Structure 1
């Protein structure tokens, strides 16, 4: 077998393996969608009925006619969207400062920020709860958003990305009488779009799926996020409204994340490829 034929064979085997692995990763999603399209009464007998007709959209009709679900969805969109925007703004500014500016204590401050990566959220939850109670921020959007703005990983990611950009760009812009803010906004920031897209995706995903803090901070039903609201609606797992309805809720909660990922997928691939080259 020639080297070219051998390479083609390896590529074919690799492609087959990746297709099989991709399908295996999709199995839970396919299973969830199939269950959501089945009547709850049918699933009481056996979940194997998911592979056989008839199918129904009754569960989706039920969830779409529940006004509380749309309120929870709006809360999740507002909280996740503003948290993502805040993290991108703060991490970009902090990353630029640590990577490009020289000020006393810069390295020590950066190390202090990185310590935040080693502190679990559970370690500060009591102090945070007491602080937010004192400030009367529970059951409010600021109360749900502000904790997510502390993003040490975002600062680290943007700092490393800014450091990888040649400093000659800054010097050339400064020679043209550009201010530091103009250098940041017009010269460097557009070059970090792949990193910002990646950070935005991860931040949005983390905020959207967050259950721990919203469960503690939001005690009123009208301030529930989607994760807390859907969990509260299933008091006793699937026995309250049925397994099919539970799977419909899972699909309903996952769709926005899939949409966001599809839109920004090319930026994520570009960022990962750039990191591999570096």
Structure 2
């Protein structure tokens, strides 16, 4: 019977994790509740926010904004395209650094890692001038390209490829498989869990990006959702209504939450796989 009961230490850890999760979710619940509150009630009443009345008017006002679905499509195109391209480039680069031998391989890999320490703001002026000369502003290409240089993705895929046994490559070579076939048919399927993690990370990073779209997309029809929603906000919560602002935050974050819920098994599998290495 003693083996049926959990140790006290495990119970304490679970309780601590539960409390931490509850504290982390409190701001999310607060934003969600406020998004359903009438703006005039929030401005005039001091009652607790969880008490009625509630309304869908804040969300209806967002949907009635003429360009909101165009901004939603723009964000989807940019985020999905950048995610697919990052996965392709990171997988190829990771395979090259992990499996191929070429001059200055280690030096180039170190240079890639140095990119992790360079903030986007440090290169924003040079990037802006470059994209202006190329005529790429206010285009999907201009919004996607900067996200393709993701050193973290190259590092993650390189480390994962290095953890795959070399015997798989040798067995494929004995079967007269080419380098490309070995990569595509044998090794790449082994990386699907970590690619799911990298894909979710990239999608959320691009979807929530505000800084570069604010600079590159100057025409309303090319706004992403983050920039578009910010463009219709007033300077203060009193001008638009606090409930309306909270509804905008929920509306912008909901697609990212849906994507995470769909791929949560892959993310958990990747985390478990990495922990077991």
TM bracket (short chain): over 0.9
Cα distance in 2 between the residues matched to 1:155 and 1:91: 5
Are 1:224 and 2:223 counterparts?
yes
Q: Specify the alignment match of 1:204 in structure 2.
A: 203
Offset of residue 238 of structure 1: 1.6
Cα distance in 1 between the residues matched to 2:259 and 2:4: 40
Aligned 8 A contact 2:91 2:157 in 1: yes
Cα distance in 1 between the residues matched to 2:171 and 2:4: 50
Q: Specify the alignment match of 2:55 in structure 1.
A: 56
Q: Specify the alignment match of 2:236 in structure 1.
A: 237
Cα distance in 1 between the residues matched to 2:249 and 2:48: 19
Q: Specify the alignment match of 2:254 in structure 1.
A: 255
Cα distance in 1 between the residues matched to 2:6 and 2:15: 14
Cα distance in 2 between the residues matched to 1:108 and 1:63: 50
Q: 1:47 to 1:102 in 2, by over 3 A?
A: farther
Cα distance in 2 between the residues matched to 1:82 and 1:76: 10
Are 1:93 and 2:92 counterparts?
yes
Cα distance in 1 between the residues matched to 2:33 and 2:182: 52
Q: Deviations over 1:219-259 (max 9, x none)?
A: 11111111111111113132332111111010101111111
Are 1:268 and 2:267 counterparts?
yes
Cα distance in 1 between the residues matched to 2:252 and 2:172: 46
Cα distance in 2 between the residues matched to 1:257 and 1:209: 9
Q: 1:56 to 1:114 in 2, by over 3 A?
A: same
Cα distance in 1 between the residues matched to 2:181 and 2:79: 29
Task: Calculate the TM-score normalised by the size of structure 2.
Answer: 0.96
Name the stretch that deviates more: 262-271 or 194-203.
262-271
Offset of residue 12 of structure 1: 2.7
Cα distance in 2 between the residues matched to 1:48 and 1:186: 62
Cα distance in 2 between the residues matched to 1:260 and 1:233: 26
Aligned 8 A contact 2:37 2:55 in 1: yes
Cα distance in 2 between the residues matched to 1:257 and 1:81: 11
Name the stretch that deviates more: 42-51 or 205-214.
42-51
Q: 1:172 to 1:5 in 2, by over 3 A?
A: closer
Offset of residue 9 of structure 1: 2.9
Q: Specify the alignment match of 2:104 in structure 1.
A: 105
Cα distance in 2 between the residues matched to 1:65 and 1:230: 12
Q: 1:61 to 1:95 in 2, by over 3 A?
A: same
User: How many residues align structurally?
Assistant: 277
Task: Calculate the TM-score normalised by the size of structure 1.
Answer: 0.95
Cα distance in 2 between the residues matched to 1:47 and 1:90: 54
Q: Specify the alignment match of 1:133 in structure 2.
A: 132
Cα distance in 1 between the residues matched to 2:193 and 2:152: 16
Aligned 8 A contact 2:38 2:55 in 1: yes
Cα distance in 2 between the residues matched to 1:61 and 1:224: 20
Gaps of 5+ in 2: none
SS at match of 1:51: coil
Q: Which has the higher helix share?
A: 1
